[in-house]
Amino acid sequence: MKSDGAPLQVKATDANQRFSRLLAESEQGRDIVITKRGRPVARLQSIHTAVTDTPIGTPVEGEVPDFEKRTDIIETCRRMNDIGLNQGTSGNASVRVEGGMLITPSGMDYDMMVPADIVKIGITGRLLHGHRRPSSEWHFHCRVMEAMPRAGAILHTHSINATALACLGMGIPSFHYMVGVAGGRDIRCAPYATFGTEELADAVLDALDGRLACLMANHGMLVLGRDISDAFKRAVEVETLAAQYLKALAVGEPNLLSDGEMDVILEKFKTYSGWAQPNK
């Protein structure tokens, strides 16, 4: 008879000794997740169980700290690829946690990632926890988190329209009031610098002065948020604005809102919970 409840978690060493019993439990309808050093490595799924998407992972108490935040990062990165906000293994994400930040590993497919693959680093970039190399862009993640202590998450993507503008060395002016979601009257484009360098971190910090988002010349976009969900929402809006601006430019010169009108918009956003300012 099919068993109800969560999958049975078994350490790899125990699984070797119990394999015959585990097969019997699987035949009876029990799903089994085999873990190694806290990371799910295999799953026995009962033939009586409906096939579902493989879960990102299962927490093992004491072995994967900040499990939920790690899961949120992976889900967000997968989602941004699913909707075309990013492609492949490009882009990266970080979330502030006690004692430092969690950041995506370097060059790893998001669909293959599990919570234990997310790396914890200190605000200076020192490795604190993890078995993988942190994103090559850890420099600007650390510098931005240090400079903007109320920012809870950073998301960097190579979205098509924002990157197209960045490859032209163009930012996004006040052609639409929603430009205010980036925290200022416009969205700046940081000058080009090689990825993974302190020079790029310097350029990004300058472009983010008083802002929650920027473009990076010949590279992509970067956004801040209170948390990873807020950052994702802002990244979607910046990409939408980039697409709208490019379409407007294809027809003519867009009308720009005045500084005074943008100041009114920014004041309204302060009391609009959907777009609170995480770095103020």
What is the set of active-site residues?
137
Let me know: does 242 contact 164? Beta carbons within 8 Å. Answer: yes
| φ and ψ at residue 8, rounded to 5 degrees | -80, 125
CB atoms within 10 A of CB 116: 22
3-state secondary structure of 146: helix
- DSSP 8-state symbol, 7: P
Distance CA 118, CA 121 (A): 10
Residue type, 124: T
Residue 261 is encoded by which pair of tokens? 């009108």
Let me know: does 169 contact 219? Beta carbons within 8 Å. Answer: no
Paired residues of 223 in beta bridges: 155, 213
